[in-house]
Amino acid sequence: MTAATEHLQQRVLHHLNTIYRDIELNQSTVILMQRVLDTMRLARVAQAPEPFYNHWDQSDMVLITYGDSIIGKDEQPLKYLHKFLDEHCKDSINSVHILPFFPYSSDDGFAVIDYSSVNDALGDWQDIEAISSDYRLMTDLVINHCSSRSPWFQNFIKGSGVGSDYFMTAELDDDLSQVVRPRISPLLRETETGDGVKQVWCTFSHDQVDLDFRNPEVLLAFISIIRQYLDSGVKLFRLDAVAFLWKIVGTSSINLPQTHECIRLLRCLIEHAVPDAVVITETNIPNQQNLSYFGNANEAHWIYNFSLPPLLVNTLVTGNCRYLKQWLMSMPPAQNGTAYFNFIASHDGIGLRPAEGLLNEDEINQLVNTMASFGGCVSWRAAEHGQRKPYEINIALYDALQGTINGPDRWGEQRFLCAHTIMFALEGVPGLYIHSLLATGNDYEKLKHTQHNRSINRHRWDEQLLADALADERTQHSKIIKQMRRLIDLRIKQPAFHPNATQFTLQLGGQLFGLWRQSLDRRQSVFSVSNVSDEPQTLNLGDINLIEGTDWFDLIAQKPVLPSRLEMELAPYQTVWITNIF
């Protein structure tokens, strides 16, 4: 036995003993440890992964998309997606997050029927593997729940077979008053089974039935799924809704210690199997809770920066960056081996829980009302004492930034690009939603058809209509993708934009948002300064301490910056990236 193998065994055994310390198992944790390692094909390892190592740099950019965001008549959607990536993203975007591409029953993929299959309406495993051979592939591990139509749950109803003991149940008289949920539907679903009526725990919807990780067979099932995905080329694992994974009656059943320990175990297994694979936690919760999923650089490699979307949108519609600055100044630098995953738009909406404690209730309501005036919808969650609170705003980002709190204006395109220049400059790895790259607006037809608020930002493009729109230089789609690609091409060449490079927030007043980034080798500095208002603003170059005698250059405008001129005027929503190396 190698020293690395022995060390791995001890680590896995420790994780299992911690997870199941209060659970009476029908097998020893030593036997369970061997089953875990056999399932992951880690019975023997040559060496341990290098700790605190960054398997990413400034060239990393993730495109977020559904498998059928582009559809056509002649081929399956995954083939159209691959063609789109090759034609429009090949030299700019090196990673792609394909949202759940498995057979499903609801929630646009997040009620998984079969984790081991590709939805045949999208394509097959060959299509997934073809994409993973050209791009770093992120996939969802929908780990908290599965579909009520899954074979597992059907066996639960029958009372026999694989899955018959996989699901979380409770009693009607259990104290569930503290349970934190993102939905207002009843928590328990009454289900007739071969063993009588059961009350099944459903954090999200009654079609999304929660799994019970107190049963180690559930853990083993997901380790087997992870192994299959690794074999198919998956390099980035998004642990969906993982904060809710472990439940205990009488508690909040969110962010419990066992959940964190499960993540530590999965990271340990994944990085021993494929050292440059990455674990990402999707925890749409208040900011300080979200940060806890880094652990001590031993849980998530990346965490979603969930506070960024509401704070950045709020900045641009109010014309004041006060709260964005305050938040960034409170954020600890990510340790080596970890990074923030930055995004502004996604298949979900603009989450509001991560803004709680950062914006007050009146400011959140102002943001909600402004987005509603731009055609957005609001999704609600259950709060204390039977109250409802806004959980997320559902709107396409292009429409969300069409104006300010005073209404629509002529600066929508500039405001939209400003949002992305800010995100691209931030510490962390950027994630770009396909409908932001394409400047897709609200899809009211899909919203009307599905009656689900999130559908407003989940448009499906016809392949030919998209080709025509991108070929016509007059369309917003053509204009935005060209400018976005130019910004990305600039970003990925700057060592100062490494996800773990130094970052300081500059104090330039309410209308100018500024960052200083410095490369890991300290050779390159980039000052990113954005006018977040609809009025011209003056940047005093002395405020950003440009060193006299050094040549400075604005990467975006492609022209020199002379400190001797003392001031620069920034047009509404203009950003400068001023660097000493170009």
For residue 152, the model assigns a pLDDT of 98
161's torsion region: left (phi>0), alpha (psi -120 to 50) or beta? left
Domain assignment of residue 507, yes or no: yes
Distance, CA of 202 to CA of 186 (rounded, Å): 8
Contacts of 359 (CB under 8 A, 6+ apart): 310, 311, 314, 323, 367
- The strand pairing partners of 380, in sequence order, are 390
In the chain, the number of structural domains is: 1
Domain assignment of residue 535, yes or no: yes
Distance, CA of 199 to CA of 186 (rounded, Å): 11
- CATH number of the domain to which 556 belongs: 2.60.40.1180
Q: In what order do the strands lie in the sheet with 169-170?
A: 169-170, 196-201, 188-193
Distance, CA of 21 to CA of 257 (rounded, Å): 12
Q: Do 313 and 419 contact (CB within 8 A), yes or no?
A: yes
User: What's the pLDDT tens digit per position in 451-474?
Assistant: 999 999 999 999 999 999 999 999
Q: From residue 121, give the alpha-carbon distance in Å to each of 84, 210, 452, 535.
A: 18, 26, 21, 49
Per-residue pLDDT at 442 exceeds 90 = yes
- The strand pairing partners of 63, in sequence order, are 96, 432
User: What's the pLDDT tens digit per position in 378-418?
Assistant: 998 877 666 788 989 999 999 999 999 999 999 999 999 99
Domain assignment of residue 522, yes or no: yes
Q: From residue 213, give the alpha-carbon distance in Å to each of 122, 165, 221, 257.
A: 30, 10, 10, 13
Contacts of 196 (CB under 8 A, 6+ apart): none
User: What's the pLDDT tens digit per position in 76-120?
Assistant: 999 999 999 999 999 999 999 999 999 999 999 999 999 999 999
Q: Do 353 and 391 contact (CB within 8 A), yes or no?
A: yes
CB-neighbour burial class of residue 153 (10 A; exposed 0-12, middle 13-18, buried 19+): buried
Domain assignment of residue 564, yes or no: yes
Tell me the percentage of the chain whose pLDDT exceeds 70: 99
User: What's the pLDDT tens digit per position in 347-365?
Assistant: 999 999 899 899 999 999 9
For residue 380, the model assigns a pLDDT of 86
For residue 548, the model assigns a pLDDT of 76
For residue 385, the model assigns a pLDDT of 66
Domain assignment of residue 548, yes or no: yes
Distance, CA of 141 to CA of 133 (rounded, Å): 20
Q: Do 212 and 168 contact (CB within 8 A), yes or no?
A: yes
CB-neighbour burial class of residue 329 (10 A; exposed 0-12, middle 13-18, buried 19+): exposed
Picking from 189, 168, 164, the residue whose alpha carbon sits closest to that of residue 248 is: 168
Could you please report the per-residue DSSP string of 63-118?
Answer: EEE-TTSEE-SSS-HHHHHHHHHHHHTTTT--EEEE---S-BSSGGGTSBS-TTS-
Domain assignment of residue 30, yes or no: no
> Active-site positions?
240
> What is the arithmetic mean of pLDDT over 512-522?
98
What's the number of CA atoms in the CB half-sphere (13 Å) around residue 265? Answer: 28
The label of the residue with tokens 């731009």 reads 374
For residue 386, the model assigns a pLDDT of 67
Per-residue pLDDT at 17 exceeds 90 = yes
Distance, CA of 361 to CA of 312 (rounded, Å): 17
Distance, CA of 63 to CA of 98 (rounded, Å): 8
Domain assignment of residue 452, yes or no: no
For residue 555, the model assigns a pLDDT of 98
Per-residue pLDDT at 187 exceeds 80 = yes
Distance, CA of 42 to CA of 527 (rounded, Å): 46
Reported as a pLDDT band with limits 50, 70 and 90, residue 26 is very high
Contacts of 34 (CB under 8 A, 6+ apart): none
Domain assignment of residue 62, yes or no: no
- Characterize the bridge pairing of strands 62-65 and 429-433: parallel
Q: Which two structure tokens, joined as six digits, stand for 230?
A: 């690794």
- Characterize the bridge pairing of strands 278-281 and 302-304: parallel
Distance, CA of 323 to CA of 510 (rounded, Å): 9
For residue 521, the model assigns a pLDDT of 97
User: What's the pLDDT tens digit per position in 221-244?
Assistant: 999 999 999 999 999 999 999 999
Q: Which two structure tokens, joined as six digits, stand for 63?
A: 């495109």
Q: How far apart are the first and last CA of the chain?
A: 52
The alpha carbon dihedral of 393, 394, 397, 401 has a sign of negative
Picking from 300, 242, 234, 228, the residue whose alpha carbon sits closest to that of residue 268 is: 300
For residue 387, the model assigns a pLDDT of 76
> What values do phi and psi take at 159, rounded to 5?
90, 15
User: What's the pLDDT tens digit per position in 539-570?
Assistant: 999 899 888 778 999 999 999 998 888 899 99
Distance, CA of 120 to CA of 29 (rounded, Å): 39
Could you tell me the residue range of the domain that residue 529 belongs to? 502-579
Distance, CA of 464 to CA of 474 (rounded, Å): 17
Reported as a pLDDT band with limits 50, 70 and 90, residue 1 is confident
